Amino acid sequence: MAASGPVQVLPSLTVLVVDDNDVNQLYLQHLLRKNGHTPIPAVDGSQALAAVATHPVDCILMDIQLPDMDGMAVTKAIREGAGGAINPPAVPILALTAYAMPSDRQRCLAAGMDAHVAKPVRGPDLFAAIAQVLGCPRSDAAPAAVLDLSEFSQKGRQEFAAELLALFLELAEPKGHALAEAVDRGDLAAAKGLAHDLAGMAGPLRAEELGRAMRLLQETCLMGDPALCRQHGEQAVKALAAVLTAVRSHPLLAASTS
């Protein structure tokens, strides 16, 4: 999720990338290089420990599931001084994992990691997390858009975009009311189904924060924790309200109804 308001500014960094998946490794290296950083790859725990003992790094991206030792064990070794005189035990470590539940984040933090970034990794999420753990300064930035219809900006596609917005408004508004009611009465099954529908509807509008909030609510409902579902449900309803407001005031929709 892209941060809104002020955002952190990163200096050029050297980043150890610990991931055994070739596609993920290539993607993360590309992402780092494109943004002015230097990646050092490691495909397992042994390579990671060798790297921290020989290459000074600013932070470490740590996959949890590795072929020889898991990311938790690698983190423990680093915290116990595996970096020797090259990297301090407190070098920032960010967990990379496909699991995004609060309990998973807590496990990573308890293991000594400084932050958690969910896979699939998005650039804004990754760099915001890195900036946060490094305590980088902030600069003013415009609030992130709650939806993105730039792909429909070409002439001839705007009519379709207006139709898409109108349909979203027609379908999402009642689903939002139903979701709020389901969350309020603790109906986890209904909330999960509605969150699934709304997460899918967020995709075509590129309403990324909405999609993320709805997917998190789905996962929380599966856990069966009513209190956590209420918390995430309220966040999801707020995210939907922001998108609905943006849709109602979108110039493409206004032009189609004038």
The domain spans of the chain are: 7-139, 150-257
pLDDT digits 0-9 by tens, 204-236: 888 888 988 898 898 889 888 888 889 889 999
Partners of 116 in the β-ladder:
95
Whether residue 82 contacts residue 53, with contact meaning beta carbons closer than 8 Å, is answered with yes
- CB-count exposure of residue 210 (10 Å: 0-12, 13-18, 19+): buried
pLDDT band at 22 (very low <50, low <70, confident <90, very high): very high
Give the phi and the psi of residue 238 in degrees, each rounded to 5: -65, -40
Give the residue, 82 or 146, on which the prediction is more confident: 82
Q: Is the dihedral of CA 141, 146, 149, 151 positive or negative?
A: positive
Whether the predicted pLDDT of 9 surpasses 80: no
- Number of helical (H) and strand (E) elements in the chain, helices listed first: 10, 7
Residue at token pair 């030792």: 69
What's the predicted TM-score (pTM) here?
0.55
pLDDT digits 0-9 by tens, 144-173: 568 888 777 665 678 888 889 999 999 999
Give the pLDDT of residue 128: 87
- CB-count exposure of residue 133 (10 Å: 0-12, 13-18, 19+): middle
CATH number for the domain whose boundaries are 150-257? 1.20.120
Give the pLDDT of residue 80: 94
> Cβ of 90: how many Cβ atoms within 10 Å?
11
Q: Which fold has domain 7-139?
A: Rossmann fold (3.40.50)
Conformation bin of residue 72: beta by default, left when phi > 0, alpha when psi is -120 to 50? alpha
Residue 118 CB partners (closer than 8 Å, separation 6+)? 97, 98, 99, 100, 125
Residue 148 CB partners (closer than 8 Å, separation 6+)? 205, 206, 207, 208
